[in-house]
Amino acid sequence: MLPPLDIAVTNDIPLGKGLGGSAAAAVLGVAIGAKLRGSPADEAELAQTIAEIEGHPDNGIPALLGGIVVAAQAPGEPPSYLRFAPPPELRAFVVVPQIEMPTVEARAILPASYSRRDTVYNIQRAALLGAAFASGRCDLLRAAMHDRIHQPYRASFVPGLEEMIALDGPDIYGIALSGAGPSVIALVRRADPAIPAAIEAIFTRSGVVTRTYDLAIADTGLREVGLGA
């Protein structure tokens, strides 16, 4: 029988904005469950349990491990994944608009099937994306972040998205929807405030209020921090 338990959670992740809040919650819950069980869980067990809760490994395993994670999972099988350190010069701006875009709706807007041309297009860029991160070739990220599978369809939820993605500059590696949106992420070489300001201005023209986060790429994931006596 488990002892009585009170949990206080401090969460800085905006919810329902395509920023992986559900994945972070899954990692926390699984970590607490493993602690209460009394026997330590290894990384593989944690990763599999989190992927099962999320329904896929894409967000949960990066939240667990930090860094850059490339993952795949077949139904009924444990996830296969590779984790490596992020390129040291890589940063991110995340512009979070005050737009309601429930994940269920964001998924429902996608088509039931895709053309061979669009499928091949995205497979090529997904492979390039993983290779670019693994090799530290951030200059390839702009090409690798192009998409025909979800952004063209979800653009109807995010005014000015195509204009944002097209923004360019010497410090911009690439711009895309964060997750299913509506947040927009810019991967950058340095924290130039003009970059998020340009994205914010596009939202402002449509009357959308935003909040911007200037973020380093986390090299650590789940950590247990002692509270002391």
> What are the extents of the domains in the chain?
21-84, 91-216
Q: According to the model, what pLDDT value does residue 229 have?
A: 44
Fold matches, 21-84 and 91-216: no
| Low-confidence spans in the chain with pLDDT less than 70 | 1-2, 226-229
Tens-place pLDDT, residues 49-97: 999 999 999 999 999 999 999 999 999 999 999 999 999 999 999 999 9
Say which residue the tokens 């380093």 belong to: 216
Question: pTM to 2 decimals?
Answer: 0.91
The dotted CATH code for 21-84 is 3.30.230.10
Determine the residue type at 178: S
The CA distance from 176 to 54, in Å, is: 22
C-alpha 84 chain-centroid distance: 16
Query: Hey, what CATH class is 91-216 in?
Result: alpha beta
Q: Which residues are CB-contacts of 48 (< 8 A; sequence separation ≥ 6)? A: 78, 79
